[in-house]
Amino acid sequence: MRRARAGLIIVAVCSVFLLAARAVVAAPLRTSATAKGLFVGAAVNMTPFRNEAIYSDTLRRELNLLVAENAFKFDALHPAQTTFNFTDADALVAFAQANGMAIRGHTLVWSNQIPSWLTSGSFTRDQVIAILRDHIMTVVGRYRGKILAWDVVNEAIDGNTGQLRTDTFWFQKIGPEYVAMAFQFAHEADPGAILYYNDFEAEGSGTKSDGVFNLVSGLVNQGAPIGGVGWQMHKVNPFRITAANHTNAQRLAALGLEISITEMDVRIPLPSDAQKLQDQALAYSDAVTFCLDEPNCAALVSWGFTDKFSWVPGTFNGFGDALMFDMSYQPKPAYTAMQTVLEAGLGNAPPVPTGLQATAGSGQVQLTWNASAGATSYNVKRTTTSGGPYTTVGSSTTAAFTNTGLTNGTTLFFVVSAVNASGESANSTQVSATPQAAGFSLSATPASLTINRGACGTSTIGITRTGGFTAGVAFTVGGLPSGVTASFNPGTTTGATTLVTACASATAAVGAATLTVSGTGGGLTQTTPVGLTVTSTADTGGVTVTPTLAANGPWFNEQQVRVTSTANLTALSITIVIQRTAGVSFSGQYNTVGGQIAQSNTSTAGAVTYQFTLAAGQTLGPASDRVFAAQTSGSGTAHPTSGDTYTVTYTTGGQSFVQPGHF
């Protein structure tokens, strides 16, 4: 009965958590417990819950069920007749839901922790029934659909007689009917919750457990909506499960009731020692084994989990160390023993995912990793503190996940684990990412250039894109000194860099300046400075350029650029611009290099432009007076050549140069 129900509840209440089943050694208890369809839980003390991160971190890591130690009790929730206080209860429910944990509600009707406005008031029977109904409808109704099981009535049986206690407020004000009424009201408020009767010394044989059995079988027979019996199990070390516990579980199963161990602790006479802790471990592992063996056992809940916070030392003088974690939140032998039982027989989890990478976007982070063999899904976990603890933020059936709704500027740390039917791997290596608003920034490497007159220098402009910014960025430059030109390659890019080349002419202004490189894209403009110093040193890379007027007659002109180089030229481009004074037009062009040079020309009303370009991949060795000639026709008037210009751009020794001039 429990297996099927727990599975459904896990799917409904904590589907994220179902995926967290894992079987690696030393996995948290909740992982293997979920894989086996069992709830493992603990009572929560709200003071450390609010004040010690390790307290809530341990809860979320280890357990798949929570119950409040006091926060759901009558006096806590209902301090005055018309006042309810849900602050703590709401916080616990929100925490459990956020972490894929089920919740037990404890407790609606008990003779302890009921407020004095109720016990000291002079209410009639009907008024007390109305108060009980109002309390249950309000509290259970508020959390309808969120509470797995309610301890509707707590500790109502007298251990000496096996009958209902007669010394309680509820019995005395209402009579024995209060029990069935409470179940009815709770069922009305949340028909989906499993309604429990909860008591101590109800787990074995004897007057008390027989009394509990008789009470609940009477309720079942009269059709009351009871679904389970809680065995508190506040025990003294050493304690072992016996056949009587199994017999008792099975007679309750025969009534159609599930059971849960609801408040287990095993108090040790202090000081404890290694042997006592080993004995205690047997008590806890017995309880797990028992719950796994009895199909109607739904949950194993301890009353607290760390010895730092336990009701035991304050109540039982000379006793303590009753829980599975010590005062420093370190697991005790009891914890390890439970873990061993829970993990027994589980198959192999997939290997740990490798190659996790995070790419920050605006308000989101995209994660990718290498698929793990045999994984059916992956859990994605996040923290703001490097190293964890991590919270599961989603799962994916592929090796990729996008975590959205994030705050820009906050660095997050991610890990992933791989899941299959047998369990969950350990976490991957951590990666970090900081979501940023979409945009980009620019940087220059080197940040400043020094070039000689007649030479060029190059800086790489880096484009750092943030927040998933992918737009093309177009570049311009400002602040060029006289005689300096600059160009970008490429001029627009969707990539991560462009090159800016600044060239100083032979007559460029000497001195320091700051160029402003601007990039514009996606509606944004960013700039980066590039320092530029032009020196007075003339630098031509061993290349001499000589303009030569080979012919200057009334009917024909030939204007040559002659290039002499003392080293290899790996790039060469010559542009000659002849003014179209009266009657002048293109006549011809030639060079003395040959086929490596591509020639072309264009004419406008104002000028004829001649282009000579060394083909890509070609090299010209050292040579004197290579001729690049521009020919024009005249109409009877000698052409004045002083307005005609040329530009020779070339690369030698890996450096670029430019030599402009005029005839």
Nearest to ligand G3I of 5, 235 (CB atom): 235
Q: Give me the least distance between CB of 69 and ligand G3I, in Å please.
A: 5
Distance separating alpha carbons of residues 499 and 530, to the nearest angstrom: 12
Q: Give me the least distance between CB of 310 and ligand G3I, in Å please.
A: 8
| Contact status: 88 vs ligand G3I (CB under 6 A) | no
State which amino acid sits at residue 266. Answer: V
523-526, Cβ contacts within 8 angstroms, sequence gap of 24 or more: 524/439, 524/440, 526/439, 526/440, 526/441, 526/442
Query: Cβ(71)–Cβ(92) under 8 Å?
Result: yes
Query: Cβ(657)–Cβ(543) under 8 Å?
Result: yes
Number of residues that bind ligand G3I (CB under 6 A): 8
564: CB partners within 8 A, 6+ apart? 543, 544, 546, 623, 624, 625, 626
Distance separating alpha carbons of residues 657 and 338, to the nearest angstrom: 79
Q: Give me the least distance between CB of 311 and ligand G3I, in Å please.
A: 4
| Contact status: 196 vs ligand G3I (CB under 6 A) | no
Nearest to ligand G3I of 107, 428 (CB atom): 107
Rounded to the nearest angstrom, the gap between the alpha carbon of residue 212 and the centroid of all alpha carbons in its chain is 49
Distance separating alpha carbons of residues 162 and 156, to the nearest angstrom: 10
Which residue numbers are catalytic? 155, 263
| Nearest residue to 232 (alpha-carbon basis) of 66, 37, 43, 1 | 43
Separation of first and last alpha carbons in the chain:
103
Q: Give me the least distance between CB of 45 and ligand G3I, in Å please.
A: 7
Report which residue's Cβ sits closest to ligand G3I: 311
Distance separating alpha carbons of residues 61 and 69, to the nearest angstrom: 19
DSSP string, 222-261: TT----EEEE--EEESS----HHHHHHHHHHHHTT-EEEE
| Nearest residue to 628 (alpha-carbon basis) of 579, 566, 572, 555 | 572
State which amino acid sits at residue 274. Answer: A
| Contact status: 307 vs ligand G3I (CB under 6 A) | no
Nearest to ligand G3I of 46, 270 (CB atom): 46
Nearest to ligand G3I of 154, 559 (CB atom): 154
> Site residues for ligand G3I, window 243-272 (CB under 6 A)?
263
Query: Cβ(161)–Cβ(203) under 8 Å?
Result: no
Query: Cβ(660)–Cβ(456) under 8 Å?
Result: no
Q: Give me the least distance between CB of 233 and ligand G3I, in Å please.
A: 10
| Nearest residue to 258 (alpha-carbon basis) of 287, 227, 301 | 227
- How buried is residue 401: exposed, middle or buried, by Cβ count under 10 Å (0-12/13-18/19+)? buried
Of the candidate residues 62, 69, 88, 190, the single one contacting ligand G3I (CB under 6 A): 69
Of the candidate residues 311, 475, 628, 663, the single one contacting ligand G3I (CB under 6 A): 311
Nearest to ligand G3I of 112, 537 (CB atom): 112
Q: Give me the least distance between CB of 340 and ligand G3I, in Å please.
A: 28
Q: Give me the least distance between CB of 186 and ligand G3I, in Å please.
A: 17
Nearest to ligand G3I of 234, 580 (CB atom): 234
Nearest to ligand G3I of 23, 118 (CB atom): 118
| Contact status: 113 vs ligand G3I (CB under 6 A) | yes
| Contact status: 232 vs ligand G3I (CB under 6 A) | yes
| Contact status: 527 vs ligand G3I (CB under 6 A) | no
CA distances from 199 to 204, 314, 349 (A): 12, 21, 39
| Contact status: 119 vs ligand G3I (CB under 6 A) | no
Nearest to ligand G3I of 30, 106 (CB atom): 106
Query: Cβ(628)–Cβ(591) under 8 Å?
Result: yes
Q: Give just the sign of the alpha carbon dihedral 444, 449, 453, 455.
A: negative
Q: Give me the least distance between CB of 118 and ligand G3I, in Å please.
A: 16
Nearest to ligand G3I of 111, 402 (CB atom): 111
Q: To 10 degrees, the CA torsion angle through 73, 75, 76, 77?
A: 80
> Site residues for ligand G3I, window 124-163 (CB under 6 A)?
154
Structure tokens at 1: 């009965």
Of the candidate residues 3, 16, 52, 70, the single one contacting ligand G3I (CB under 6 A): 70
Nearest to ligand G3I of 302, 420 (CB atom): 302
| Contact status: 112 vs ligand G3I (CB under 6 A) | yes
> Site residues for ligand G3I, window 91-110 (CB under 6 A)?
none
Structure tokens at 58: 């341990």
Q: Give me the least distance between CB of 415 and ligand G3I, in Å please.
A: 36
| Contact status: 618 vs ligand G3I (CB under 6 A) | no
Q: Please give the radius of gyration of the chain, using alpha carbons only, rounded to the nearest integer.
A: 43
Q: Give me the least distance between CB of 168 and ligand G3I, in Å please.
A: 13
Instruction: Give residues in contact with ligand G3I (CB under 6 A).
Output: 69-70, 112-113, 154, 232, 263, 311
